Amino acid sequence: MQQVLRLPVSRTEVIDAPDVIRQAEAFRSQRKPSVTPAKFETRGLPLVIRDLRKAFGDNEVLRGVDLEIPAGQFVAIVGQSGCGKSTLLRLIAGLDKPTSGTISFGDAEARAEDIRVMFQEPRLLPWARVLSNVEVGLGRDRKAAGAHERARQALEEVGLAEKRDQWPSVLSGGQKQRVALARALVSGPRLLAFDEPLGALDALTRIAMQRLLERVWADQTFTAILVTHDVAEAVALADRVLVIENGRIAEDITVDLPRPRQRGSAELAALEGSILGQLLGPGPTG
């Protein structure tokens, strides 16, 4: 079932711009004075999933997922706790093997460095400086020339260039997640999967991080798959929201609102309400 919600847009200017965003924007404008690339110029990997099933013993978690994600799309996955969102993500990232079904990345051959995952926890190495933590993300290119420079650039991208020589233990929760984001970005992935990466952050940091994610995605044009508990976050960021229920994709909602989207706008709220209604089951209004 595919349903398209096209809603009018009133005002879309950014009402607050935390330091992170300002720095990052300044950096971006100085590096890329040209306009943002058009959608068809994406480097992202397309994703095709056919009749994907995954069972843990008797517990059949995914019961036939069919999904096509065009290259460069930003997809959010929502669903009740335990419905198999993380499982689906782990299968896509190759951390687990499916019971049956196929996952393919268009006709291109995906390298390990092309697909990256960001977890709910930052998972930084406490004994490595921030910069070497980012270098971990280069995979086999770690020893190649220019590894340092690439890591430094990724750090700059998330607005943490000045923290390069710090230990992770002195960073705040949001800063740690930004380092983890830089580590995921540094190899120039073509598909980035996020498993509730902002779940542990406070509301303000969360919004700043969401903006950062959106900007980085627009900048680097990878395919993004974001698992989240937060429907507001899903509609604010994604081109498309998938609702998982009973091991299948129950709803596939296209969010056709221009970016940057204004948080708290009536359109977003309406969309969020309708998706929440789906998640919570048939309410009094049907």
Partner 1 sequence: MSLIESLPKVRKLTVPKADGLLPWLVPLAILLIWQAASVAGLVSPRVLPAPSDVARAGWKLLWSGELGRNIWVSFWRASIGFLIGGSIGFAFGLANGLSQLSSKLTDTTLQMIRNVPHLALIPLVILWFGIDESAKLFLVALGVFFPVYLNTLHGIRTVDPQLIEMGRVYGMTDGELFRRVIFPGALPSIFVGLRFALGIMWLTLIVAETIAASSGLGYMAMQAREFMQIDVVVLSILIYALLGKVADSASRLLERLTLSWHPAFSKH
Ligand X SMILES: Nc1ncnc2c1ncn2[C@@H]1O[C@H](COP(=O)(O)OP(=O)(O)OP(=O)(O)O)[C@@H](O)[C@H]1O
Q: Smaller CB distance to ligand X: residue 135 or 272?
A: 272
Among 25, 60, 96, 113, binds partner 1 (CB under 8 A): 113
For residues 187, 191, 197, 203, the Cα torsion angle rounded to the nearest 10 degrees is: 100
Task: Name the binder of 37 from ligand X, Mg ion, partner 1, none, CB < 5-8 A by kind.
Answer: none
> Which single residue brings its beta carbon nearest to Mg ion?
86
Q: CB of 125: closest distance to partner 1 in angstroms?
A: 7
- By CB under 5 A, name the one of 42, 73, 86, 175 that touches Mg ion: 86
Supply angle C-alpha 241, 242, 247, rounded to 5.
165
Stretch that binds ligand X, among 53-61, 107-115, 218-226, 247-255 (CB under 6 A): 53-61
Figure out which of the listed residues 61, 131, 192, 241 binds ligand X, where binding follows CB under 6 A: 61
**Distance from C-alpha of 78 to C-alpha of 151, rounded to nearest angstrom:** 32
Question: Interface mask (CB under 8 A) for partner 1, residues 176-205, using x and -?
Answer: -------x----------------------
| Residue 29 in the binding site for partner 1 (CB under 8 A) | no
* Cβ proximity of 146 and 137 under 8 Å: no
Beta-carbon contacts of residue 186 (< 8 Å; ≥ 6 apart): 134, 135, 137, 138, 150, 151, 153, 154
Instruction: List the one residue from 42, 87, 177, 205 that touches ligand X (CB under 6 A).
Output: 87
32 binds partner 1 (CB under 8 A): no
Closest C-alpha to 95, from 193, 207, 166, 16? 193
127 contacts ligand X (rule: CB under 6 A): no
Which residue has the closest beta carbon to ligand X? 86
113 binds, among ligand X, partner 1, Mg ion, none (CB under 5 to 8 A by kind): partner 1
For partner 1, the closer CB: 64 or 139: 139
Q: Which of 56, 111, 140, 277 binds ligand X (CB under 6 A)?
A: 56
User: In the set 81, 97, 109, 143, which binds ligand X (CB under 6 A)?
Assistant: 81
Give the type of residue at 251: E
56 is a site residue for partner 1 (CB under 8 A)? no
Size of the site for ligand X (CB under 6 A): 11
Burial class (CB in 10 A: 0-12, 13-18, 19+), 146: exposed
Q: Which is nearer to ligand X, 133 or 278 (CB)?
A: 278
* Residues forming the site for Mg ion (CB under 5 A): 86
* Residues forming the site for partner 1 (CB under 8 A): 93, 95, 112-113, 116-117, 119, 121, 123, 125-128, 136-137, 139-140, 167-169, 183
* Residues forming the site for ligand X (CB under 6 A): 56, 59, 61, 79, 81-87
